[in-house]
Each structure stands twice: as structure tokens, then as C-alpha cells.
Amino acid sequence: MLYQPKASHFINGEYVEDTAGDVIDVVYPATGETIAKLHAATPAIIDLALNSAKAAQKEWAALSGTERGRVLRKASDMMRERNYELSVIETHDTGKPIQETTVADATSGADALEYFGGLAGSLTGEHIPLAGGDFVYTMREALGVCVGIGAWNYPTQIACWKGAPALACGNSMVFKPSETTPLSALKVAEILIEAGAPKGVYNVVQGYGAVGASLITDPRVAKVSLTGSVPTGRKVYAAAAAEMKHVTMELGGKSPMIVFDDADVENAVGGAILGNFYSSGQVCSNGTRVFVQKGIKEKFLKRLSERLANAKIGDPMDEDVSFGPMVSENQMNIALSYIEKGVAEGARLVYGGKRIEGEGYYLEPAIFADVTDNMSIAREEIFGPVMSVLDFDTEEEVLARANDTEFGLAAGVFTADIMRAHRVVAGFEAGTCYINTYNLAPVEAPFGGSKMSGVGRENSKLAINHFSEMKTVYVSMNDVEAPY
């Protein structure tokens, strides 16, 4: 076993095992071999994790924000120092090329720990003066035990994007990674404890959906933050709502990217590549509906195909490789089935789209042209390297078509016309928008979706509001006037 952790779960500052839990095979997507075997959490493990998180939270919240921040910033430094080691694990968990994981995973997690560590000391309430000398002050308080549930595409990043703001506010966390990629979050937990977080402040339990489901409804839990698909989001949100728990929902998308005739074609092609094929297309905010104005359509498709031919597909541990396998056989088959549907529904496959035979779950990046709005490949989230190119004539028409979806995660526009860029962005029904670029998610900026794509925002100062609540304290400086 190449990456067998000491045990499946990390609870109360140490690795814990319970072999009675269902077996989780960790499969390296580049070869299909099993590289570790873990066990899903049993009710006893879930209980242990929640009790540890509950017990640790009060002590953690009693520290000053500066003290909590110091721990997070130390963890951030440790993640950067161990970036290569963590990137190798992320690559084995997900199949993403080491060329990507060394710049986008542990580093992004470290950014979140550094940013929220920096904010922790400045989290305050406010003073509100009232008539007659009375006043109100507000206290920003932690929520308590927060549950994080992650998708499999960015396991290190998701563990940190949820953990860093939660811990900065004085909460503790129980994090459940996707069973497809269970290794990376264990390392985040190890590092946080080594950096000085009290035992129990950040715990990881493994499991399938049922483990996540039982965490959500537990009375010890105050908040649930999910990164996952819309169908899972509906279930998790409903279960959390029944118990009136706080939620953050980072869900799926089918985001539009609009390229006007006057756009810089190389930049637009670059944006379309980043927004469709990075991480083999397994990115929630991908701009998979690329609307190209008719005047530059053929030029755009030509340059796209030319540049895509430079992608180096292969062993993700090879530093020259820029395009790795899909995360699993299942996800590859989902993408392949959409490619078949695209062809069957009359779209023109202009590039790739074939399974690469041999070991591992490799698929050529696929570009469809002449896609129309009602085709399955233009309506449904594929979560694979399948780009749909659609034609359009006018700004008004394309904006209406771009918004004609239940999703609202992201949207982008490429144009040289500054007025049009801002006008189009103002019209987008999406939480995260881009002008002349695509898919950047710095920790300083809010990230999240509108419509069915989510509730709440991750990153930025806004995330603090989703991991804390205000207590209002009315102070009277006068006698109490009662009517009788």
C-alpha cells in the first residue's frame, strides 16, 4: 500500500481505527491500482469525533483571536514547507498532474489558513449608541461544532477553505472527505494539531454519504458546510433546515463564458482552456457553455484545437504532464456517456473525446461545436473535460441564453469593450463573475453560487459571517419604565 495512513480517521489529535466500518479502497486514477484501504466511520467513531470536537471547542474559543490566528498561520507555513509531499498525496488521491497540485492545492489551503489566521485577531462586534445614553454592543461568537463535507476534486483545498474560517472564529470542525479522495484531509488535520491547535479542534472521519448524513442531524452540530452536487445539496440543506442549523452550500454549475467578436482571441482561448480542462475538467465553476459570437467562431475553434494539441496527457507524476486522468472509472464513464449523447443529439465533435486505452482513467479533452441550448451537454453538469461551443449574434440574446439555467455558480465575458463587459456582468445571474479571465479564486475574494448553485460564500471576509453569529447586548443607563 503506497499511501496507507496510520489509520482511517483523525480524532482528538490522533489517528483512530475501527475496522468494523465499510472498506474504502483508495484507487490511484493513473493506474487503477489500490494504494490504500480505509474504513468508513462507524457510529462509535462518529460519536468520538463529535464529542472531541464539542469538548475542544470551548477551550479554543476562549483563546484570543490573535492566539488562534497564530496557530493557523503556523499551519499555513508548514503546509508551504511540505508542499511537495502534500502535492504528491493530492495527485495520488485525485490523479491531477503534479504540475497543477504543486501550485493549486496545498498552496491554496495555505493561503486560506494564512488569510483567516490574519483576520482572527480583528474579529469584533460593534458599539451602537442609543437615546438617553443607552447603548447596544454586539459580540461575535463562534457557532460551535461545524461539519465540513467535501467533494473529491480539491480535497486539500476544501478541507482548508472550510476549516480555516471555522477555526478562526473559534469553532471546531469534523470534516468528512469524499470517499473517493480520503487521504489529503488527514494531512491537514495532522498539520493543524502539530501547529498547536488543541486536540479535537479539527477532526477527520471517513465515510460514504451515510456518514455525512448522520453528522448533519446530530444535535451537537451547529453548522454544515457542503461542497458537492446539487442533488446532495438539496438533501443536506433539507436535513440541516429541519434542525435549524446554519449552512453553506457550494454546489455544481453549468457556467457560461461569452466571447464577443472584439475579444482578444488568444486570451479567450486561454480562458476557455482554463475554464474547461484544468483538473481534467473536474472544476465546479467551469465555463462549459462557451458562447462565441459568429464572426470569430471558426478562428476561435481553430486556435483552441491548435493549443489543445499542446496538452501533454500522461502520468500525473511527470512534471511535464499538463492533463491527467479522471478521478475515477465512474466519473470517466459519466463523461464518456455525455460525449455519446452530444454526438447523438447532433453536436459536432471537433476535437478529442475518446477514451485513451491502457491503464488508468484517461479521456481526451473534448470540444463540441454547433451545440444548441437544449442539448444535454449544454444543460447538465458533466464534471469532465467536455466543452460545448455555442454560436450567438447579439448581446441581448446571449445574456438571456447564458442565464437560462437552474445553476448560477460562475460566468465570464471576454470583450475589448469596457462598457459592455460591465453591462454583461451586471446582467449575469451568477455568484462569481470574470471579465477577460476565468476560474481564478483568490482567498481574498468571495466565492460561491446563486440560484441552485449554492447558499452563502466561501473565502474573503464574508466567510466570517457564515461561521459566527452576533449576540446583541442592550445596556440601559436609565430607570426601567414599565406601564404598571
Residues 363-382, one symbol each (x = binds ligand NDP by CB under 6 A, - = not), give ------------------x-
Q: Is 299 considered catalytic here? A: no
Least Å from the CB of residue 249 to ligand NDP: 8
Least Å from the CB of residue 173 to ligand NDP: 14
Please give the C-alpha separations between residue 174 and each of 5, 20, 116, 236, 328, in angstroms, as whole numbers.
18, 20, 18, 15, 25
| Given the residues 54, 74, 96, 162, the one annotated as active site | 162
- Separation between Cα atoms, residue 163 and residue 157, nearest integer Å: 10
- Separation between Cα atoms, residue 261 and residue 259, nearest integer Å: 7
DSSP per position, 308-363: HTT--BS-TTSTT--B---S-HHHHHHHHHHHHHHHHTT-EEEE---B--SSS--B
- Separation between Cα atoms, residue 344 and residue 363, nearest integer Å: 19
Site membership for ligand NDP, residue 159 (CB under 6 A) = no
Site membership for ligand NDP, residue 459 (CB under 6 A) = no
Site membership for ligand NDP, residue 235 (CB under 6 A) = yes
> Could you tell me which stretch among 14-22, 134-142, 204-212, 391-399 binds ligand NDP (CB under 6 A)?
204-212
For residues 180 and 117, the answer to whether their CB atoms sit within 8 Å is: no
- Separation between Cα atoms, residue 357 and residue 369, nearest integer Å: 25
Please name which of 402, 129, 385, 174 lies closest in space to residue 280, comparing C-alpha atoms: 385
Nearer CB in complex with ligand NDP: 133/231: 231
* Beta-carbon count within 10 A of 340 CB: 10
Site membership for ligand NDP, residue 108 (CB under 6 A) = no
Site membership for ligand NDP, residue 152 (CB under 6 A) = yes
Please name which of 214, 201, 160, 198 lies closest in space to residue 41, comparing C-alpha atoms: 214
Q: Considering only residues 170, 212, 342, 456, which one is a binding residue for ligand NDP as defined by CB under 6 A?
A: 212
Please name which of 47, 21, 150 lies closest in space to residue 93, comparing C-alpha atoms: 150
Q: Considering only residues 153, 288, 328, 405, which one is a binding residue for ligand NDP as defined by CB under 6 A?
A: 153
Nearer CB in complex with ligand NDP: 301/382: 382
Print burial letters for 419-436: b (CB count within 10 Å at least 16), e (below 16): ebbeebbebbbbbbbbeb
- Separation between Cα atoms, residue 168 and residue 71, nearest integer Å: 9
Site membership for ligand NDP, residue 208 (CB under 6 A) = yes
Kindly determine how many residues on this chain lie close enough to bind ligand NDP according to the rule CB under 6 A: 30
Print burial letters for 392-415: b (CB count within 10 Å at least 16), e (below 16): beebeebbebbbebebbbbbbbbb
| Given the residues 90, 284, 297, 395, the one annotated as active site | 284
Nearer CB in complex with ligand NDP: 69/454: 454
Backbone angles phi, psi at 315, to 5 degrees: -60, 115
Residues 398-427, one symbol each (x = binds ligand NDP by CB under 6 A, - = not), give -----------x------------------
Nearer CB in complex with ligand NDP: 83/288: 288
Residues 239-268, one symbol each (x = binds ligand NDP by CB under 6 A, - = not), give -----------xxxx---------------
Nearer CB in complex with ligand NDP: 278/392: 278
Least Å from the CB of residue 232 to ligand NDP: 3
- Separation between Cα atoms, residue 304 and residue 73, nearest integer Å: 41
| Nearest residue to the partner ligand NDP, using Cβ | 212
Least Å from the CB of residue 427 to ligand NDP: 21
Site membership for ligand NDP, residue 284 (CB under 6 A) = yes
Q: Is 162 considered catalytic here? A: yes
Nearer CB in complex with ligand NDP: 195/221: 221
Q: Is 199 considered catalytic here? A: no
Angle (CA) 67 69 72, round 5° = 120
Q: Is 458 considered catalytic here? A: yes
Site membership for ligand NDP, residue 93 (CB under 6 A) = no
Nearer CB in complex with ligand NDP: 49/263: 49
Site membership for ligand NDP, residue 232 (CB under 6 A) = yes
Q: Given the C-alpha cell 496545498, which residue does it identify?
A: 106
Residues that bind ligand NDP (CB under 6 A): 149-153, 176, 178-180, 208-209, 212-213, 216, 227-229, 232, 235-236, 250-253, 284, 381, 383, 409, 449, 454
Active site members: 162, 250, 284, 458
